[in-house]
Amino acid sequence: MSRRSLWVIGVVLSLAFCAVAQAQEAYLDEYVAHVRPEKRSAYDALIKKLVAANRDRGDTWTALETTYGQSDTIRFVSVRSSYAEVDKASSVFMGAVEKTLGHPGTENLFETLASYTADSRNLLLRQRPDLSANFPSDPAGRARVIGNARYVRLARIVVKIGMAPRYEELAKQVKTAAEKDPSVRRWVSQSVVGERPGVYYVAVLQNSMADFDSAPELSKLMGNEAYMNLQKAASDVIETEDISLNRFVPELSNPPADTLSVAPDFWRPKPAATKTAAAKPASDQSPAPAKR
């Protein structure tokens, strides 16, 4: 894992979108790491050092941990407006880390992180609000959703070669149906760099695990016949689909200010207080032996 890979440290996915026609917040810059299970605690401790180094002056990101899916997988997600911002954010990230740890300390930290990682991948995804359901049009609305979200159900959909246009037609049908219920938050992004373009990510954000129980079923929003037709058409265009459930990890995140302000107690958890041993009452203490 290179230093450049790690700064990308910046879960659902996702997680602030805007119109593709605008050149703002158009990309999700992700670093996905599968950590060696026996090194997970040590890995988290080093990431916390990167969080501290970047706090208030460096790069920003949210972190998600897979709870159902490949275990010990962490996604670090940052929102970028352009390729140029990706490059700029890398410099900002490294500058903040080196200012805190120094050059030798920075080199050592990244080398250690690399040894703790079984495999990793860098991804640049283009946000697709035109395929997303109930995607807030304003930054404040997106920040409220992300700031309050605790879980992301993430579907990675690989579309057959040449079938992307057909898949997007079906995705727009789902968007129309899903937007009948304002509580549905189904945000879509598409791979640009890191894997082939015909890979789509569908992130469903919820404020709690219980919210998945009460979420409306797509078959009811579309109607049974339309839903069955959709399923049949999708089987012709989708090659594979993998689904995971991920939770936001505030201790490994350094969220943007607008996200932080929504739920500061969650995103900036206070360190757990350490208990100190209480001194014995004087009456319980044995007298010191007399000196001879």
pLDDT tens profile 251-264:
999 999 999 999 99
In this model, does residue 25 exceed pLDDT 70? Answer: no
In this model, does residue 271 exceed pLDDT 80? Answer: no
Beta strands at 117-127 and 186-193: parallel, antiparallel or unpaired: antiparallel
HSE-CB at 114 with a 13 A cutoff on CA atoms is 13
Q: Are 32 and 163 in contact (CB under 8 A)?
A: no
- Token pair listed for 264: 């500061």
Question: What pLDDT score does 142 carry?
Answer: 87
In this model, does residue 92 exceed pLDDT 80? Answer: yes
Token match 């992700």: residue? 30
Question: What pLDDT score does 15 carry?
Answer: 37
Domain boundaries, given as residue ranges, for the chain? 3-262
- Token pair listed for 71: 């275990």
**What's the whole-number mean pLDDT along residues 85-96?**
96
What count of other Cβ atoms lies within 10 Å of the Cβ of residue 75?
28
Q: Are 40 and 211 in contact (CB under 8 A)?
A: no
Question: What pLDDT score does 26 carry?
Answer: 84
What count of other Cβ atoms lies within 10 Å of the Cβ of residue 82?
13
pLDDT tens digits, 47-66: 999 999 999 889 999 999 99
Three-state secondary structure readout of the chain: CCHHHHHCCCCCCCCCCCCCCCCCCCEEEEEEEEECHHHHHHHHHHHHHHHHHHCCCCCCEEEEEEEECCCCEEEEEEEECCHHHHHHHHHHHHHHHHHHHHHHHHHHHHHHHHHHEEEEEEEEEEECCCCCECCCCCHHHHHHHHHHCCEEEEEEEEECCCCHHHHHHHHHHHHHHHCCCCCCCEEEEEEEECCCCCEEEEEEEECCCHHHHHCCCHHHHHCHHHHHHHHHHHHHHEEEEEEEEEEECHHHCECCHHHHCCCHHHHCCCCCCCCCCCCCCHHHCCCCCCCC
- Helix 40-54 with 83-116: angle, nearest 10 deg: 150
In this model, does residue 22 exceed pLDDT 50? Answer: no
Question: What pLDDT score does 275 carry?
Answer: 55
Q: CATH 3.40.190.10: does it fit domain 3-262?
A: no
User: pLDDT-derived band of residue 23, with 50, 70 and 90 as boundaries?
Assistant: very low
Residue type at 165 in one-letter notation: P
- Token pair listed for 259: 């996200």
Arithmetic mean of pLDDT over the chain: 87
Question: What pLDDT score does 290 carry?
Answer: 46
User: pLDDT-derived band of residue 273, with 50, 70 and 90 as boundaries?
Assistant: low
Residue type at 201 in one-letter notation: Y
Least confident of 9-13, 194-198, 200-204: 9-13
Reported pTM: 0.83
**What's the whole-number mean pLDDT along residues 269-288?**
56
In this model, does residue 10 exceed pLDDT 80? Answer: no
Question: What pLDDT score does 98 carry?
Answer: 97
**What's the whole-number mean pLDDT along residues 221-234?**
95
In this model, does residue 160 exceed pLDDT 60? Answer: yes
**What's the whole-number mean pLDDT along residues 243-256?**
97
Write the burial class of residue 10 (CB in 10 Å: 0-12 exposed, 13-18 middle, 19+ buried).
buried
